[in-house]
């Protein structure tokens, strides 16, 4: 075997082993199997309260809660919105609904009244399990969404009559719960709303099989070395990542260490104090922590990274002694691509990996035909456990599927070694004078510049060239715009980007607006109708533009 193999043979073997395995039928079966194997071991610890729960106790509580929810009228197929922070009630409610065969609709606890109304109405929510702190958004509605009534609002953490208190329902539940209707792996478990960077979110219909496979395969890839046990969950549970990470920890026989929220300032303490072996590691965190003796206190063994530059990939492995690997997934498909542990030097390149178990992939051109290796096209994915489709969105389903293939909307190329490289979103391409510019490529160059924490590249309308490139920069803590002036930005780009890709407009921000999944919401950076040139530095004019003269730069 040569070094040029880059782990492809190991990936094939591991795929075959994963596809030959027998998986639990439902989420309830998944939990019961883990409880039988690990019993009194600690499944989860909530870092803010210090509360812990064993595998056996978790399984028992989900059965008791399922029996109580059944008495409230929740049946197979009932749509239940769950609006909870990172507390034990979230995974317990999810699992209890899964045992019944009901459908969970995760809801962001930070939603405004307008956003909440949209999701509850669009999802046809019939019940709501809500944290007391989020009640004002619900109670402030003039009228409840059509399928809701006050008697079907279950409150966690607040004073409520027994029939509507989450805590009282759990306490009154029967541990010998048996589902009145059979639940199968193809039944819907989640109506998971995408946190897209544009437009209204769409509800992805996700089955039990989707979640069982996603959690199991995440453990299969990340736990191959046998050393991953403590898993840090620090994103909100109403986003999909914490849900599969919780199942991954369960499949590994490990412990999910659950933080109340994402916090760069607290992340280091969490990693050290809880002896964390695995987490999703954002690149800005690496920049926020100067290299030093404190690095040796970490217990990291595997971290998931997304879109990192080569230098950062090498740095995180060198500093922390861990494995850092890229992958590609999305709400609609779960896992899609994975860089194997054995990838060697290939792992340091900007690649997303090879097809994961149960996944077939194609790169397709605008003509609907597969492109030649090395050429750019849209990634299409097929296989077991994809989303059913988008809820009540026939147009989106027609656009998003071609037969059994799901069209991801992401542009990829396949390199000479067979690895897939993401180029960018189809809708995130900037077209200047007939040239296609991937915003991600510009951002990768900007993020590698000293003093830059994160960047966002966007297209600015231009009557002559179609669009011009603009970058927004968020600088590292303690760095001022005068430390990273526009002239230095252009100089940095000169040897790294073709001139037509080099930003014309540059602006600085304190922070970016973000989605639930922590993606930058580019459409919300500027108020609607604002001129994107105003307040920017213009490379052509060599000066900062005012609102009055911004329009004159269009030519």
Q: Are 22 and 363 in contact (CB under 8 A)?
A: no
> Per-residue pLDDT tens for 394-422?
999 999 999 999 999 999 999 999 999 99
Tell me, yes or no, whether 116 lies in a domain.
Answer: yes
**446 in the same domain as 419:** no
1 band by pLDDT with thresholds 50, 70 and 90: very low
**214 in the same domain as 166:** no
CA 456, chain centre distance (Å): 18
At residue 552, the pLDDT reads 57
Q: Provide the CATH number for the domain around residue 468.
A: 3.30.300.30
**255 in the same domain as 149:** no
Q: Provide the CATH number for the domain around residue 175.
A: 3.40.50.980
Tell me, yes or no, whether 515 lies in a domain.
Answer: yes
**437 in the same domain as 321:** no
**219 in the same domain as 140:** no
Tell me, yes or no, whether 42 lies in a domain.
Answer: no
Q: Burial-class residue 555 by CB neighbours within 10 Å (0-12, 13-18, 19+).
A: exposed
> Per-residue pLDDT tens for 236-256?
999 999 999 999 999 999 999
Tell which of 370, 404, 425 closes a domain: 425
**281 in the same domain as 404:** yes
Domain that holds residue 500: 433-554
Integer CA distances (angstroms), 290 to 92, 215, 324, 330, 477, in order: 39, 33, 18, 32, 12
> Per-residue pLDDT tens for 476-494?
989 999 999 999 999 999 8
Long-range contacts, stretch 117-120, CB < 8 angstroms, 24+ apart: 117/141, 117/145, 118/200, 119/81, 119/193, 119/201, 120/81, 120/145, 120/148
At residue 173, the pLDDT reads 96
Q: What is the DSSP string of 310-362?
A: HHHHHHHHHHH--EEEEEEEETTTEEEEE--GGGGGGGGSS--BEE-TTEEEE
**270 in the same domain as 163:** no
Average pLDDT over the chain reads 91
Tell me, yes or no, whether 192 lies in a domain.
Answer: no
At residue 160, the pLDDT reads 64
CA 422, chain centre distance (Å): 16
> How many distinct structural domains can be found in the chain?
3
- Quote the percentage of the chain above a pLDDT of 90: 75
218 band by pLDDT with thresholds 50, 70 and 90: very high
Tell me, yes or no, whether 396 lies in a domain.
Answer: yes
Q: Averaged over 268-291, what is the pLDDT?
A: 90
**460 in the same domain as 366:** no
- pTM, two decimal places: 0.84
**304 in the same domain as 403:** yes
4 band by pLDDT with thresholds 50, 70 and 90: low
Q: Averaged over 98-121, what is the pLDDT?
A: 92
At residue 197, the pLDDT reads 44
**437 in the same domain as 420:** no
Q: Are 326 and 305 in contact (CB under 8 A)?
A: yes
Range of weakest confidence among 23-32, 133-142, 239-248, 340-349: 133-142
**Predicted confidence (pLDDT) at residue 2 exceeds the cutoff of 90:** no
Q: Averaged over 415-440, what is the pLDDT?
A: 84
Tell me, yes or no, whether 241 lies in a domain.
Answer: yes
> Per-residue pLDDT tens for 299-354?
999 999 988 889 999 999 999 999 999 999 999 999 999 999 999 999 999 999 99
**218 in the same domain as 159:** no
- DSSP bridge pairs for 53: 44
Tell me, yes or no, whether 498 lies in a domain.
Answer: yes
Tell me, yes or no, whether 201 lies in a domain.
Answer: no
- Helix or strand (DSSP H, E) at 305: strand 302-305
Q: Provide the CATH number for the domain around residue 301.
A: 3.40.50.12780
Q: Burial-class residue 4 by CB neighbours within 10 Å (0-12, 13-18, 19+).
A: exposed
At residue 549, the pLDDT reads 65
Q: Which of 300, 290, 347 is nearest to 320 (CA)?
A: 300
How far apart, in whole angstroms, are the C-alpha atoms of residue 41 and residue 59? 12
Tell which of 392, 425, 458 closes a domain: 425
Q: Are 34 and 364 in contact (CB under 8 A)?
A: no
Range of weakest confidence among 110-124, 290-304, 540-554: 540-554
- Quote the percentage of the chain above a pLDDT of 70: 95
Integer CA distances (angstroms), 210 to 31, 191, 523, in order: 15, 12, 31
**393 in the same domain as 301:** yes
Instruction: Pick left, alpha or beta for residue 163 (phi over 0 → left; psi -120 to 50 → alpha; otherwise beta).
Output: alpha
How far apart, in whole angstroms, are the C-alpha atoms of residue 117 and residue 17? 45
């Amino acid at each position: 075997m040569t070094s040029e193999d880059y782990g492809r043979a190991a990936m094939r073997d591991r795929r075959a082993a994963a596809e030959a395995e027998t998986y639990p039928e439902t989420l309830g079966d998944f939990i019961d199997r883990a409880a039988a194997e690990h019993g009194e071991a600690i499944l989860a610890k909530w870092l803010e309260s210090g509360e812990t729960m064993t595998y056996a106790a978790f399984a028992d509580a989900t059965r008791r809660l399922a029996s109580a929810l059944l008495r409230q009228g929740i049946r197979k197929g009932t749509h239940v919105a769950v609006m909870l922070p990172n507390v034990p009630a979230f995974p317990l409610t999810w699992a209890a609904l899964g045992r019944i065969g009901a459908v969970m609709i995760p809801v962001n606890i930070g939603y405004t009244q307008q956003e909440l109304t949209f999701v509850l109405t669009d999802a046809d929510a019939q019940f709501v399990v809500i944290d007391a702190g989020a009640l004002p958004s619900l109670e402030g509605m003039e009228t409840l969404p059509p399928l809701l009534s006050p008697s079907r609002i279950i409150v966690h953490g607040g004073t409520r009559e027994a029939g509507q208190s989450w805590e009282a329902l759990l306490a009154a539940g029967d541990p010998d719960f048996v589902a009145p209707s059979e639940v199968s792996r193809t039944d819907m478990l989640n109506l998971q709303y995408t946190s897209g960077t544009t437009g209204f979110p769409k509800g992805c219909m996700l089955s039990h099989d989707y979640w069982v496979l996603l959690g199991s395969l995440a453990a299969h890839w990340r736990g191959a070395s046998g050393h991953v046990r403590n898993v840090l969950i620090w994103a909100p549970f109403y986003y999909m990542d914490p849900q599969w990470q919780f199942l991954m920890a369960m499949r590994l026989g490990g412990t999910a260490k659950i933080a109340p929220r994402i916090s760069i300032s607290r992340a280091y303490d969490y990693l050290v104090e809880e002896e964390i072996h695995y987490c999703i590691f954002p690149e800005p965190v690496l920049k926020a922590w100067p290299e030093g003796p404190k690095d040796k206190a970490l217990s990291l063994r595997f971290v998931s990274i997304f879109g990192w530059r080569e230098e950062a990939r090498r740095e995180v492995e060198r500093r922390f002694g861990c494995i850092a690997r890229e992958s590609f997934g999305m709400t609609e498909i779960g896992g899609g691509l994975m860089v194997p542990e054995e990838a060697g030097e290939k792992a340091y390149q900007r690649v997303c990996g090879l097809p994961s178990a149960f996944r077939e992939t194609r790169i397709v051109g605008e003509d609907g035909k597969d492109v030649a290796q090395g050429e750019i096209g849209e990634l299409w994915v097929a296989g077991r456990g994809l989303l059913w489709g988008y809820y009540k969105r026939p147009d989106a389903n027609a656009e998003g599927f071609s037969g059994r293939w799901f069209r991801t909307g992401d542009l990829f190329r396949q390199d000479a070694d067979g690895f897939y490289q993401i180029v960018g979103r189809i809708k995130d391409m900037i077209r200047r004078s007939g040239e296609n510019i991937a915003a991600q490529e510009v951002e990768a160059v900007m993020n590698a510049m000293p003093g830059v924490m994160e960047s966002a590249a966007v297209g600015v309308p231009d009557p002559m060239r179609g669009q011009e490139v603009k970058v927004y920069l968020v600088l590292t803590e303690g760095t001022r715009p005068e430390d990273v002036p526009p002239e230095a930005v252009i100089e940095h780009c000169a040897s790294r980007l073709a001139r037509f890709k080099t930003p014309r407009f540059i602006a600085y921000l304190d922070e970016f607006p973000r989605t639930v999944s922590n993606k930058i919401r580019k459409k919300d950076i500027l108020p609607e109708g604002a001129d994107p040139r105003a307040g920017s530095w213009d490379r052509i004019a060599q000066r900062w533009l005012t609102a009055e003269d911004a329009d004159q730069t269009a030519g």
